[in-house]
Amino acid sequence: MLLLRYQPKQAPPQKVWCRFCAVMGKLQSKLKHSTYKYSRPDEIIEERIQTKAFQEYSPAHMDTVSVVAALNSDVCVSGGKDKTVVAYNWKTGNVVKRFKGHEHEITKVTCIPNSNQFFSASRDRMVMMWDLHGSSQPRQQLCGHAMVVTGLAVSPDSSQLCTGSRDNTLLLWDVVTGQSVERASVSRNVVTHLCWVPREPYILQTSEDKTLRLWDSRGLQVAHMFPAKQYIQTYCEVSVDGHKCVSCSNGFGGEGCEATLWDLRQTRNRICEYKGHFQTVASCVFLPRALALMPLIATSSHDCKVKIWNQDTGACLFTLSLDGSGPLTSLAVGDAISLLCASFNRGIHLLRMDHSRGLELQEVAVF
């Protein structure tokens, strides 16, 4: 007897490949906004998928956004490669005003405390002062640097402005008159950021020479120089109480790519390091204490990720991946539960802290 074996009909290779691509496409779509967090005390990482949709507001800029800062609890100011400074209401999703005057990319913005006025710096070597409720033209134009201006810091009493540049110099300006009153220069001190210490005459400065300097504005002299790091220091921030500061490093492939907490009081020692990014850490901020029972720090990096850290232990509590954003360039606290994050490719991201299921960070809007 002849026995015939049944052969199941197989789909042609082309159809199989099409089905595979369809499945992978759906999977990729689901993973578009992935988040990772520490959900247990033993710090085992749990992967979770962000399913909430976010809003797309009208864009603030037409090109890469270099920097963002909060003017008040509703309005932020930002600048970028389109040479404009934009005041934007991030709660309503509307442009408040556009300011034009710079001839090249905006590199820094900083706001005058308890005021509607702010400063911008640019690759055109100029610093300009703006008023939200005034003209769209600058109130002041400060010219004194020979190269791109890369640092801006306003004194706590709003009477002075300190600027820094790739020309190795710092300048101290009288805000009322717009005149330069002090000048200091240190060889190879390529300034990357400036930050004024609250209630103190001191200015914190990061540099491409891998150091962190503390300047005394009374005579503009170096008061202290922290131990040099292994990588360029890209940014610095001072805590509200003025007791601590955090700086961050450039790097690649996980080498460097960290933030460092320093004591600004008598010891001025390194307290803690925050390691976990894989590319340059471009910005770091202290988060409002009301957000959690523990003190927190947030960092943003060229690896497209924003991380939340336990300030005391250095443990990474949450990671938000902003896929498609390109390098993240700047981070600012918007209000008690919100962060503003500037990026190369997708403008400014509005991020919100959520405590309903533990500590989480979600992207809720982009503009």
- What digits encode the pLDDT tens for the residues 310-327? 999 999 999 999 999 999
Which among 148, 132, 139 is positioned nearest to 66, based on CA atoms? 148
The pLDDT, as a whole number, for residue 153 is 98
Whole-number Å distance between alpha carbons of 233 and 324: 26
Listed range (14-23, 160-169, 195-204) with the worst mean pLDDT: 14-23
**Interval 155-159 mean pLDDT:** 97
**30 CB-near residues (< 8 Å, 6+ apart):** 49
Task: Kindly state the average pLDDT of the residues 78-89.
Answer: 98
Structural element, H or E, at residue 153: strand 149-154
> What is the dihedral sign for C-alpha 57, 58, 59, 60?
negative
Architecture of the domain defined by 230-366: 7 Propeller (2.130)
What pTM was computed for the model?
Answer: 0.85
% pLDDT > 70, the chain: 85
Pairing of strands 360-366, 55-56: parallel
CA distance 356 to 225: 43
> Model confidence at 186, in pLDDT bands (50, 70, 90)?
very high
Better-predicted residue by pLDDT, 250 or 18: 250
160: which strand partners?
A: 174
Nearest CA to 49 out of 32, 72, 28 is that of: 32
**Within 13 Å of residue 61, how many CA atoms lie on the same side as its CB?**
30
Distance between CA atoms of 114 and 230, rounded to whole angstroms?
A: 37
Report how far residue 206's alpha carbon sits from residue 334's, in angstroms, rounded to the nearest whole number: 23
- In angstroms, the CA 278 to CA 288 distance is 26
Q: 47-56, 157-166, 286-295, 353-362: which has the highest mean pLDDT?
A: 157-166
List the one residue out of 189, 212, 316, 191 whose CA is nearest residue 262: 212
Q: Enumerate helices (H) and strands (E) in the chain, giving the number of each.
A: 1, 33
3-state helix, strand, coil in the chain (%, to 5): 5, 50, 45
